[in-house]
Structure 1
Amino acid sequence: MEKVRAKKHLGQHFLTDLGIAENIAKAVSGHRGVKKVLEIGPGMGVLTDFLLQENWDLYLVDIDKESVAYLNKKYSQLGDKIIEADFLAHDFGKVIDGEYIIAGNFPYNISSQIFFKVLSERNKVVEVVCMLQKEVAKRIASPHGNKEYGILSVLLQAFYDIEYLFTVPPDVFDPPPKVDSGVIRLKRNEVEILPCDEKLFFRVVKQGFSTRRKTLRNALKSMGLSEEMREDPILDKRAEQLSVQEFISLTNKLQASWKK
């Protein structure tokens, strides 16, 4: 079959190294006994081949018509499990019944948006194994107290246990990207509901990192800090210094201060 052309506007960089593709496929652990795997952006199926070898109940989603046509020919046995759609806009609850795993080589230009959708679907997405820009992968897996630690680190670590698995150089892609890539694995933890107002928690985290060089006292100023709250020593810290639990505590303190 004729090769699919990588499209710059879709952020496509096709993996060519079979060993790396195999390692990514083998990193999918089937967390909580889940067998359904949704691969995002399979391109020409380099990772798909190895996921099929691992006998997952596989679904493919790609926004690229050319890739979908190629995949339909190559994997005709998958039938309507090959979905031409924008992952960010599609409702997979209508396609995949129950919990599932996400795998794939994520387009760099939408990787953060993919993770915000994962967060919104966190009660169905039990595991994610993916390759993305190394800088973003490191940030997501970074512990607090590290300069790489940011909004996605906190929000994802609240609901997932995260491991940085390995780094992938640019020369194993066609076309090669200008940066290294990183492979990470997220596994859903036991937290069903955060012990705080979740909407406020998300808001506090985003606002806290909006001016990450400033203390939280300055970063959260627009949230209407009471006099008592302004004296709290937790606000002497910067957002990158707070663990998930400390952000939960801060959220509860803020809410309590508004009720007084």
Structure 2
Amino acid sequence: GSRTLADEIAKGAGQVPNPDDSQKSSLSQVIADPVAVSNVSQAKADSYGAGLAPFFLTLALWIGIFMLIQAMRPITQRALASNAPAWKIAVGGWLPFLAVSVVQASLLTLVVDLALGLNPAHPVLMWLFMLAAAMAFSAIIQGVVALLGSPGKLVVLILLVLQLVSSGGTFPWQTTPQPLHVVHQVLPMGYVVTGMRHLIYGADLSMIVPTVMGLLGYTLLGAAMSTLAVRKHKYWTLKTLKPEIAV
């Protein structure tokens, strides 16, 4: 029995690996760093400012239209008193906001491209995408204020605050609390920020067309709210003819 044990131990000793220096170096690296991580960059921002550009450009569009709604009525009383169809009055009330927002989007594009040297990968597509975002934002803001009146301005401000934390402009929206995930998926700013990143940094553009279609959907939603507001306010009451407080 002892001889058999000795023979088997001798056989086992002969099977023990005896690595050379290169194998020892490779094994030591595996033991020191057992998990290998490879970084694959789909797109890269040239600077910290370029990394935040999609968020601040989108934010500037929303705030610009929000400030405009403070100075302009979404629908004029003269238009409401006319015999035009409700949808025509709604579109007529939206067009001034659309015109100003288009100018704003164009100026923003020129400033960041020429003055600040953003150098987007797709400058023309970026400008067209900003026009689509301006169209959607102006329709939503004009529609909300037209439908709700002065309280609608507070609603627009609340929507802005919600989108500041849920759009993923400064940190991944997936790291936010679960209720804000719903906000990200429902409100438009998050989609615009993501689309701007793809157009500025040169990432995959396959999501741009669905995003633009979504912005058209937001535009139609704003137009529907504005049309509903026209139908609501076309019927004048005694309070409309003689309001307690004229603003």
Is TM (by shorter chain) over 0.5? no
Q: Higher helix share goes to which structure?
A: 2
Ranked by relative contact order (alpha carbons within 8 Å, sequence separation 6 or more), the top structure is 2
TM-score range, shorter chain: under 0.3
Query: So what's the TM-score if we normalise by structure 2?
Result: 0.23
Name which one, 1 or 2, has greater alpha-carbon Rg: 2
Query: So what's the TM-score if we normalise by structure 1?
Result: 0.22
